[in-house]
Amino acid sequence: MSARQHPHDPSPEPGSDPGLAPTRPSLYRRLLGGSGTFGDAATADAIDSPETQLAERLDTILNIAERLAATHDRTELFRTIVDETLRALQVDHVTIRVVEDSGLVVAAWAGLSDEAARALPVFRVDEGWVGEVLRTGQVAAWSDAREDRPGGTERSEGIEVSGDLIAPLIHHDRVIGALTAVTREPRDWTDGDVAFLTTLATHAGIALSNAELFEQTEARAAQLAVLQAASGRLNRASSVEAVGRTIVEETRKIIDYHNARVYLVELPDEVVPIAFEGRVGAYEHVDMDLLRCRIGEGFTGWVAEHGEPLLINDANADSRGQTITGTDEIDESMLVVPMRYDGMTVGVITLSKLGLDGFDADDLRLLTILADHAATAAETARLLTRSQELAGELRRLLEMSSELSGSLDPRQVANLMAGHLARAMGVDECAISYWDRPSGRLESLGFYPPTEDGALEPYFLLAGYPETVRVLERQEAVIVDADDPAADRDEVTLMVRDGNRILAMLPLVAKGQSIGLVELFSKTKIRWDAQRLELARTMSNEAAIALENARLYEDARKLADRDPLTGFYNHRFLHERMGEEVVRSQRGRRPLSVLMLDLDDFKLVNDTFGHLFGDRVLTWAAEVIRSTLRLSDIAARYGGDEFALILPDTDADEARRAAERILDAFRERPFVGEQRGPVPIAASIGVATFPADGRTGTELIAAADVALYKVKRGGGHDAAAAGRADAGNGAAA
Where is the domain boundary, 327, 351, 386? Answer: 386
pLDDT of residue 727: 38
Confidence tier at 728 by pLDDT (50, 70, 90): very low
pLDDT of residue 15: 37
In this predicted structure, the answer to whether residue 44 has a pLDDT above a threshold of 50 is: no
* Range of 239-243, 373-377, 703-707 with top mean pLDDT: 703-707
Of 420, 594, 602, the closest CA to residue 518 belongs to 420
Determine which of 321-325, 528-532, 662-666, 693-697 has the lowest per-residue pLDDT on average: 321-325
* Residue 391 forms part of a structural domain: no
pLDDT of residue 223: 65
CATH number at residue 659: 3.30.70.270
pLDDT digits (tens, 9 = 90+) for 126-169: 777 777 888 888 888 888 887 777 665 555 556 788 888 999 99
In this predicted structure, the answer to whether residue 455 has a pLDDT above a threshold of 80 is: no
Q: Are residues 142 and 117 in the same domain?
A: yes
Confidence tier at 16 by pLDDT (50, 70, 90): very low
Which one-letter DSSP state was computed for residue 601? T
**CA 541, 545, 546 angle in degrees (round to 5)?**
115
Q: Are residues 567 and 540 in the same domain?
A: no
* Range of 99-113, 237-251, 628-642 with top mean pLDDT: 628-642
Residue type, 489: R
C-alpha to C-alpha distance for 438 and 14, rounded to whole angstroms: 117
Sign of CA dihedral 662, 664, 665, 669: positive
Where is the domain boundary, 199, 214, 229? Answer: 214
Average pLDDT rounded to a whole number, residues 207-229: 72
**CA 646, 650, 651 angle in degrees (round to 5)?**
120
Q: Are residues 35 and 159 in the same domain?
A: yes
Q: For residue 607, what are the domain limits?
A: 562-732
* Residue 451 forms part of a structural domain: yes
In this predicted structure, the answer to whether residue 1 has a pLDDT above a threshold of 90 is: no
State the DSSP string of 339-386.
EEETTEEEEEEEEEEESSS---HHHHHHHHHHHHHHHHHHHHHHHHHH
Percent of the chain with pLDDT over 70: 85
C-alpha to C-alpha distance for 347 and 263, rounded to whole angstroms: 5
In this predicted structure, the answer to whether residue 181 has a pLDDT above a threshold of 60 is: yes
pLDDT of residue 214: 74
pLDDT of residue 224: 67
* Residue 40 forms part of a structural domain: yes
Number of structural domains in the chain: 4
C-alpha to C-alpha distance for 709 and 716, rounded to whole angstroms: 9
CATH number at residue 95: 3.30.450.40
Of 423, 393, 399, 434, the closest CA to residue 547 belongs to 434
Determine which of 196-210, 315-329, 388-402, 582-596 has the lowest per-residue pLDDT on average: 388-402
Determine which of 211-220, 352-361, 490-499, 571-580 has the lowest per-residue pLDDT on average: 211-220
pLDDT of residue 675: 63
pLDDT of residue 3: 38
pLDDT of residue 299: 94
Q: Are residues 439 and 356 in the same domain?
A: no
Of 401, 411, 347, 404, the closest CA to residue 373 belongs to 347
Cβ(432)–Cβ(414) below 8 Å: yes
C-alpha to C-alpha distance for 662 and 467, rounded to whole angstroms: 41
C-alpha to C-alpha distance for 422 and 535, rounded to whole angstroms: 12
End-to-end Cα distance, the chain: 99
Q: Are residues 594 and 549 in the same domain?
A: no
| Cβ neighbours for 603, distance < 8 A, ≥ 6 positions apart | none
Q: Are residues 696 and 677 in the same domain?
A: yes
In this predicted structure, the answer to whether residue 733 has a pLDDT above a threshold of 50 is: no
Sign of CA dihedral 566, 567, 568, 573: positive
Residue ranges of alpha helices (H) inside 498-601 are 530-561, 571-588
* Residue 226 forms part of a structural domain: no
pLDDT of residue 552: 81
Residue type, 480: V
Which one-letter DSSP state was computed for residue 125? T
Across the chain, mean pLDDT equals 82
Average pLDDT rounded to a whole number, residues 160-184: 87
pLDDT of residue 273: 92
Confidence tier at 110 by pLDDT (50, 70, 90): very high
**CA–CA distance from 511 to each of 185, 515, 538, 541, 548 (Å)?**
106, 9, 13, 9, 10
In this predicted structure, the answer to whether residue 2 has a pLDDT above a threshold of 80 is: no
pLDDT of residue 12: 40
Cβ(151)–Cβ(66) below 8 Å: no
Q: Are residues 576 and 646 in the same domain?
A: yes
* Residue 229 forms part of a structural domain: no
Cβ(124)–Cβ(131) below 8 Å: yes
* Residue 527 forms part of a structural domain: yes
**Which of 619-625's residues contact partners 24+ apart within 8 Å by CB, and which partners?**
619/565, 619/566, 620/671, 620/681, 621/566, 621/666, 621/671, 621/681, 621/683, 622/565, 622/566, 622/567, 622/568, 624/662, 624/665, 624/666, 624/669, 625/597, 625/662, 625/665
Q: Are residues 303 and 272 in the same domain?
A: yes
* Residue 228 forms part of a structural domain: no
Q: Are residues 113 and 245 in the same domain?
A: no
Q: Are residues 713 and 602 in the same domain?
A: yes
* Residue 7 forms part of a structural domain: no
pLDDT of residue 700: 95
Q: Are residues 198 and 51 in the same domain?
A: yes
Where is the domain boundary, 498, 531, 553? Answer: 553
Q: Model pTM greater than 0.85?
A: no
Q: Are residues 576 and 697 in the same domain?
A: yes
